[in-house]
Amino acid sequence: MYQELYNLGLEKARQGDLAGAIKEFSRALKVNPQFSDAYYKRAVTRFDFGDLPGAIEDYNEVLQIHPAHINAYCGRGLTNLALGNIAAAIEDATQATRINSNHAPAYSLRGTACQRLGNVQAAIANFKKAAEIYLEQKDAVKCRQCIETIKKLQPPPPAGENQTKNPPFNPEEFINEALKKSMLGDYGGAIGDLDWVIQLNPQEDKAYFHRGLIYARLESNWSAIEDFNQTIRLKPSHAEAYYHRGIARSATGDYASANADLNYAANLFRERGNIASYQQALSEIKKVEASQQYRNKMRAKQAYLSRDIPRGRPSFRVQQRLMILVGGHWDTAWRLVELEREKNPGMPEDWYWEKAIYNIERERGLK
């Protein structure tokens, strides 16, 4: 009976009927006065409803039944903070950390309470601890929130002092971990780590670059190009990004853009005195030029062989599908179709367009 009433209370709370939810939780407690879950949910609902003293009473009841209920300590601490009972809030948060030293919300709560007291150093220490735990748990949103709070609390450093000293989040550690996974062949795990670094800090150019390298190794050239684009946007003089984007563009048949990227990379390498990389870029340029010449010969040959054979026109349907996949860029669509014509001469026109569509969808995981 009391479980049904409790479930009804949960449903009303989900629907936003807080008064109705409180009533159902109260009915459940009349049937079973030791039902700690009902006290806890009624406390949460009373807090949302604005009945802060009532919420404190319910949290007290939960802790009478279950003295180690960590969420009840945090909930009561938050309620005490809202009531202005800062010392009590700190004590509740501290008790929660005694129960579980890796409970990030408790440190975040205590950091907020210390901030209210004006104890900035204690607040920073608590938010930093919370950020570290969220980091380990890969909770990017909450970790970023803690880091932003720390930045606001920290006074500006003296002129000339390194502002990145002891950063709460060190992306290098996670990027290095991703590189280790990649070397072991765990490309999915490596991409997952780099995805998370980018989610935490969208301005981290190294994460985009290394993810692009992995995509290129997997022959997901369009994804690689997108990541190299982001790298260059964040760091316009990133020679390696131009170099690898050039190779990826060459793999898609965009030889003109590939040549431009590789030449730009070669110039950057030369300016830096990196002769080995400069020579490597020149070698890749020769490969691109050779591929472009070969394609031109094949096109000329195909045009000669098919000069009297009508090729037909692709259907509007397949044209539209491919155009959508390449973002409306007609030159890109045509280049992809031409690549298929070179590889598979003599096929119906729709077949080339369908094959280009299939290749893109397979690369993007849509097939």
Q: Residue 163's pLDDT band (boundaries 50, 70, 90)?
A: very low
**Residue 310 pLDDT > 60, yes or no?**
no
pLDDT tens sequence across 335-360: 888 888 888 887 888 888 888 888 88
CA distance 59 to 41: 9
For residue 241, give every residue at least 6 positions away whose Cβ sits within 8 Å of its Cβ, in sequence order, or none: 209, 212, 228, 231, 232, 235
Q: In this structure, what token pair is assigned to residue 125?
A: 């220490």
Domain annotation covers residue 110: yes
**Residue 192 pLDDT > 80, yes or no?**
yes
| One domain for residues 185 and 286 | yes
Domain annotation covers residue 324: yes
Tell the burial category of 351 from Cβ atoms under 10 Å away from its Cβ (0-12, 13-18, 19+). middle
**Residue 47 pLDDT > 80, yes or no?**
yes
- Compute the chain's Rg from CA coordinates: 30
Domain annotation covers residue 135: yes
pLDDT reported for residue 274: 93
pTM, entire model: 0.57
Which is more confidently placed, 2 or 354? 354
| One domain for residues 79 and 209 | no
Domain annotation covers residue 166: no
User: In sequence order, what DSSP letters do the residues of 178-217 get, joined into one string?
Assistant: HHHHHHTT-HHHHHHHHHHHHHH-TT-HHHHHHHHHHHHH
**Residue 367 pLDDT > 70, yes or no?**
no
CA distance 79 to 100: 20
- Give the CATH number, domain containing residue 91: 1.25.40.10
Other C-beta atoms within 10 Å of 161: how many?
8
| One domain for residues 136 and 179 | no
| One domain for residues 204 and 130 | no
Per the structure, the count of domains in the chain is 3
| One domain for residues 110 and 231 | no
| One domain for residues 7 and 125 | yes
| One domain for residues 109 and 176 | no
Domain annotation covers residue 311: no
CA distance 186 to 174: 14
| One domain for residues 98 and 196 | no
CA distance 190 to 325: 26
Which of 106, 122, 153 lies at the terminal end of a domain, its last residue?
Answer: 153
| Residue range(s) defining the domain that contains residue 85 | 2-153
**For residues 101-112, b (16+ Cβ closer than 10 Å) or e, as one string?**
eebbbbbbbbbb
| One domain for residues 216 and 127 | no
pLDDT reported for residue 315: 78
Other C-beta atoms within 10 Å of 343: how many?
11
Domain annotation covers residue 22: yes
Q: Residue 366's pLDDT band (boundaries 50, 70, 90)?
A: low
Which of 123, 153, 183 lies at the terminal end of a domain, its last residue?
Answer: 153
- In degrees and rounded to multiples of 5, residue 336 shows phi and psi of -65, -40
